[in-house]
Amino acid sequence: MKKRTFLKTGLFLSVAAVAAPLINACKGAGKSANGTATGPVIPPPKLRRTTPFTLPALPYPTGGLEPYIDKLTMEIHHGKHHQAYINNLNDAVKDTVYNEYELDDIIARITASDADKKIRNNAGGHWNHSFFWQIMAPGTNSAPEGQLATAINTTFGSYDKFKVAFSDAAKSVFGSGWAWLCVGKDKGLFITTTPNQDNPLMLQIAAKTGTPVLGLDVWEHAYYLKHQNKRPDYINAFFSVVNWKEVALRFDKAMF
């Protein structure tokens, strides 16, 4: 490291070391009774939102993922379920501090309190589904490539072993929830699950936090029409429509 870079970095680290506890103290969060920092450091909100949340268009036709995910399921899942999360979220944030926050800022701040419950469920529902549509694509039947493929092989042994581990996690979700492949703070890949519409970006809620790069909705509404009670068949079908190019883009961004 050059001297100048070292000095700058050193200065930055010193400022950060002093500032972080102050920021936490100001928020009144992230501290235990004895004053030790325990909670996550939540970044200040970046943007102020002035318009209601709206349903993002699917990046492919509703029948585009056939035969793996059927058209009717997609029509209802995107047009009814996702839309309902958005309607309920717009309603829930009214007259709250979250009314001006972008979705990412709500997700990072939302707490497990009863008062936040409706926003938590519906902000999660909106974020998770917006993400889910993007990480699938018609007729991909592909596998990870490049740095992502290397990271998957290093972490899980091989792509096939990763598929088994991810599928097992998805099968293990009791009731409704999601399975995720994430990049952690240490830049390592890990698999986790969340109940209901929680996700690993919920710093105050998730058991393990990280940046999702792949996610699978295992609510019955995602597969019941085609697969009925056979969740493993749906999980298997999902791997035929994963948009690995999009997953790799998200991975590269999370690693940077």
- Measure the CA–CA gap between 136 and 198, rounded to whole angstroms: 20
- Kindly write out the interface string for residues 194-223 of this chain, putting x where it contacts Mn ion by CB under 5 A and - elsewhere: -----------------------x-x--x-
- Interface positions, 221-240, toward Mn ion (CB under 5 A): 222
Please count the residues of this chain forming the interface with Mn ion, following the rule CB under 5 A: 3
Q: How far is the CB of 132 from Mn ion (least distance, A)?
A: 7
Q: Could you tell me if residue 141 is left (phi over 0), alpha (psi between -120 and 50 degrees) or otherwise beta?
A: left
Using the minimum distance from each CB to Mn ion, give the nearer residue, 217 or 246: 217
CB of 230 to Mn ion, least distance (A): 17
Q: What is the C-alpha to C-alpha distance for residues 255 and 184, in angstroms, rounded to an integer?
A: 9
DSSP string, 29-84: -SB-TTS-B-SPPPPPP--B--S---PPPPSS-TTTTTTTS-HHHHHHIIIIIIHH
Q: How far is the CB of 237 from Mn ion (least distance, A)?
A: 15
Interaction of residue 244 with Mn ion, rule CB under 5 A: no
Rounded CA-CA distance 80/94 in Å is 22
**Is residue 178 within the footprint of Mn ion (CB under 5 A)?**
no
Ranked by CB distance to Mn ion, the top (closest) residue is: 217
Least distance to Mn ion, CB of residue 170, Å: 13
Q: Which residue, 101 or 131, has its beta carbon nearer to Mn ion? A: 131
Mark 77-93 as b/e (b = at least 16 C-beta within 10 Å): bbeebbeebbebbbebb
Q: Which is nearer to Mn ion, 148 or 173 (CB)?
A: 173
Report, in Å, the least distance between residue 241 CB and Mn ion. Answer: 15
The residues binding Mn ion (CB under 5 A) are 217, 219, 222
